[in-house]
Amino acid sequence: MTIPRSHATPEDPRRLPPARRRRARRSLASLDAGEREAFWNQAARRAEPSVDFFLYIAFAAVVWGIGLGFDQPALLLFGALLAPSMAPLLGLGLGVVTGAGRYFSHVLGGVVVGSLLAFGLGVLGGAASMLWMAPDLNQAPLHAHLSVWDFVVLAIAAMWATVALARRPRVLPLPSAALAYEVFLPLVTAGFGLGNGTLHLFPDGLVVFVVHLAWAALFSAMAFAVLGFRPLTLFGYTLGGVALLLGGVVLVFAMGMGTAFEAHVGMPAPLPTPLPSPLPPSPTALPPTFTPTPAPPTTTPTATLTPTPSPVPTATATPTPTPAYAIAAAPEQYGGVLIRSGAGFEYKSIGGASNGEVLVVLGPEVEADKYVWVRVRVPSTGVEGWVLEHLIEMATPSPDW
């Protein structure tokens, strides 16, 4: 008697031995199409933005704004720990590597909304920090420039979080906090600079945010590809190639701008003004000479007295110092120099001078922010403030220089 064989049924993953479960998680590429699709759906649901994402990104942005105002790195780290799970950033990489255009657009919309929320709170924090802002801002410029070590941390955190998302029910806190620190803190720094008037922080921080966001998505996409996630259609390969190309273009463009690498005192190129001839020093006025009026002679019956004139008073004139003149000589791409209210990048800009415009030097040098500053006056506008010493050329020698 022949006994028909029963069809093999798939094993329940929850009933597999622990060793086999770990082996299955490590080799996602060996899964069939249905199992890979199930893994894709599970990871996609975890990476979608939720209400908690927007709520906690708001909490983190508030703490970052306070930390930037007080110039306290401990508050910046605490804000990164308060930040939500950065799974939506990994969702961008998942959408790129699988070619799911609708899913990519959905996740990107959530990330954009969260970014606008963080930027707006950064602007409010910068405006409020005018009441308590520290005299020297050292932390804010650190998060508004590109750095090789930031890229290293970004790559490790993005790939680590991607592996955790694919194999665990949630993203690990440590790589998620690192992603929030590297991606959203520069965006809050840009809003902070716009809110409190430190304008060089605004474009630089925004450039750093865009570059870090693009590269976090690309590193995540590469990690998903290594784990076995592949594009399901030809559009998937096209989307991945376009995203990789755009990431490279954004990086090259940011490096070419150069605004995020150093704290330059750049300004929009003003209209050229004709170079006036140096003003001649004012002549020293001659001291007035007082001529005494002789007193009328007094006659007496006995003798005639000859009046003796009183001594002529001589006025002592105070020597007028010869003013020192300088010419604005910034690099051609800036077109001129900024005049600040104090010696340092943290002070507000109160005016400017075009290249070639004559400046009157009012005082000696002061060292601040590792640069030498000089107090000058612009004769054409009457503005008095501080300018970087290496951006001007002395036109009149002076004993103090």
Mean pLDDT value across residues 378-397 = 83
Q: Name which of 177, 187, 179, 184 is nearest 220 in CA terms.
A: 179
Instruction: Specify the pairing of strand 349-354 against strand 358-368.
Output: unpaired
Alpha-carbon Rg for the chain, nearest whole angstrom, is 35
pLDDT value of position 354: 85
Q: Which residue has the higher pLDDT, 395 or 300?
A: 395
Global pTM value: 0.57
SS3 of the chain: CCCCCCCCCCCCHHHCCHHHHHHHHHCHHHCCHHHHHHHHHHHHHHHCCCHHHHHHHHHHHHHHHHHHHHCCHHHHHHHHHHCCCCHHHHHHHHHHHHCCHHHHHHHHHHHHHHHHHHHHHHHHHHHHHHHCCCCCCCHHHHCCCCCHHHHHHHHHHHHHHHHHHHHCCCCCHHHHHHHHHHHHHHHHHHHHHHHHCCCCHHHHHHHHHHHHHHHHHHHHHHHHHHCCCCCCCHHHHHHHHHHHHHHHHHHHHHHHHCCCCCCCCCCCCCCCCCCCCCCCCCCCCCCCECCCCCCCCCECCCCECCCCCCCCCECCCCCCCCCEEEEECCCCCCCEEEEECCCCCCCCEEEEEECCCEEEEEEEEEEECCEEEEEEECCCCCCEEEEEHHHEEECCCCCCC
Q: How confident is the model at residue 338 (pLDDT cuts 50, 70, 90)?
A: confident
pLDDT value of position 334: 75
**Beta carbons of 233 and 99 less than 8 angstroms apart:** yes
Mean pLDDT value across residues 389-399 = 72
Mean pLDDT value across residues 248-275 = 45
Q: How confident is the model at residue 240 (pLDDT cuts 50, 70, 90)?
A: low
Q: How confident is the model at residue 6 (pLDDT cuts 50, 70, 90)?
A: very low
Dihedral over Cα of 66, 70, 71, 74: its sign: negative
Tokens of 251: 């990086």
Per-residue pLDDT at 189 exceeds 80? yes
The span from the CA of 196 to the CA of 66, in Å, is 12
Mean pLDDT value across residues 393-400 = 62
- Where along the chain do its domains lie? 17-257, 324-394
The overall average pLDDT reported for the chain is: 75
Length, in residues, of the chain: 401
Beta partners for residue 338, in sequence order: 352
Q: How confident is the model at residue 300 (pLDDT cuts 50, 70, 90)?
A: very low
Q: How confident is the model at residue 261 (pLDDT cuts 50, 70, 90)?
A: very low
The span from the CA of 351 to the CA of 378, in Å, is 9
Helix axes 51-70, 173-196, angle to 10 degrees: 60
**Beta carbons of 186 and 209 less than 8 angstroms apart:** yes
Tens digits of per-residue pLDDT, 65-113?
999 999 899 999 999 999 999 999 999 988 888 888 888 999 999 999 9
Beta partners for residue 339, in sequence order: 351
Query: Domain 324-394 is classified in which CATH homologous superfamily?
Result: SH3 Domains (2.30.30.40)
